[in-house]
Structure 1
């Protein structure tokens, strides 16, 4: 089961990165070029929200079926924090990804309350770009590529 969930989580991450980059660039371009916020922009923002939440659910399942998770019982929190690989997979990566999902959710929620295009794009640009930076900072690049 672990291998299957890991496969899904890894390849869904490509989709997540692609759509988050598209959404961030779209919102930045819309903000700086004073474009009108339309249905396509709304769909991009919504699709980004959906994809990030699905990735979070897959990641939570993976977290608890992972062989790394057993290391909490064997090593304890002190042992996990001393090992950089265990710390990445058990603490840093999950925490930063949850923060990124919260940022995407906040950006989507805040942009809906804005009445004009520029503030809508601004909210999406800030929160989605921050989420992208957080995600890129804690991807285990050595095993992912």
Structure 2
């Protein structure tokens, strides 16, 4: 069960990143090009937030069954000094919660704006910050600090 959820979580990160990048493309194009905020743009806003929230739920489930996190929580004094264990026990979840919160704020604030330019601008700013936070907290395969495969097998 753990291996399946881990592989699913690893796969869905690509959907999160793709939807976030596409949403950013649409928001910057709309904001800088003075375009109208269309129904399609609204759907992109909703779908981006929904995919991020699905990833959050899977990640939280994974957090509570992870042997690494279990070790971290049960051996905090020693584990906090181990970079890899601390990353998954504390840093990854904290930064991802912040990233998904920023996506949620982007969606909620943009929904309340009255002008199209303000909707695009609000989403562009908040989603850019969210993307930076998320990118900094993914255990990339090329990272010298925490390295995990780009794709996991089911």
Q: State if a TM-score over 0.5 links the two structures.
A: yes
Distance 1:73 1:32 in 2: 47
Separation of aligned partners in 1, 2:66 and 2:74: 14
Deviations, residues 5-52 of structure 1 (Å, cap 9, x unaligned): 001100011111100010012111111111111101000010001000
- Helix, strand or coil: the match of 1:82? coil
Q: Deviations over 1:49-85 (max 9, x none)?
A: 1000000000000001111122134422x32221100
When the two structures are aligned, how many residues end up with a matched partner? Answer: 144
Cα RMSD over matched residues? Answer: 1.0
Partner residue of 1:10? 10
Deviation, structure 1 residue 95: 0.4
Structure 2 equivalent of residue 30 of structure 1: 30
CA contact (8 A) 2:72 2:80 kept: no
1:2 deviates by 0.5
Change (3 A) 1:61 1:120: same
The two structures have a TM-score, normalised by structure 2, of 0.90
The structure in which a higher percent of residues are helix is 1
Say whether residues 1:20 and 2:20 are aligned partners. Answer: yes
Aligned to 2:124: 125
TM-score, normalising length from structure 1? 0.95
Per the alignment, residue 108 of structure 2 pairs with 109
Q: Which runs of 5+ in 2 are unaligned?
A: 141-146
